[in-house]
Amino acid sequence: MTAEDGKKQLLHLVFGGELKTLGGTEFRDLETLDIVGIYPDYQSAQTAWKAKAQASVDNAHMRYFVVHLHRLLDPENKPAG
């Protein structure tokens, strides 16, 4: 998995939604999950996550997450990030 610029792709998914409880990770409604996007590296995923998290700061139940897709796609090789 190498990008056109020669760097290895480390895919990350950013998504979020309203949680049932403040301390949990169970969503109120899976139909309304916000799939922000898939990013080629952690840095760009974190930038997208931060923008969404800051935009939803008024809703205490809204949470956004970064999922390391590259770790799921290649569980034998877990690079940092």
CATH code, 29: 3.30.70.2400
Our count of domains for the chain comes to: 1
> What local confidence, expressed as pLDDT, does residue 49 receive?
98
| Long-range pairs of 27-35 with CB within 8 A, sequence gap ≥ 24 | 28/61, 34/64
Beta bridge partners of 71: none
- What are the C-alpha distances in Å from 79 to residues 11, 21, 35, 70? 12, 32, 24, 9
Q: Taking 90 as the threshold, does the pLDDT of residue 80 lie above it?
A: no
Whether 5 is in a domain gets the answer no
Distance CA 66, CA 55 (A): 16
pTM for the full predicted model: 0.83
Give, for 48, the enclosing helix (H) or strand (E).
Answer: helix 42-55
pLDDT in tens, 16-67: 999 999 999 999 999 999 999 999 999 999 999 999 999 999 999 999 999 9
Whether 41 is in a domain gets the answer yes
Whether 65 is in a domain gets the answer yes
Domain coverage including residue 55:
12-73
Q: What are phi and psi of 25, to 5 degrees?
A: -130, 15
> What local confidence, expressed as pLDDT, does residue 8 receive?
83
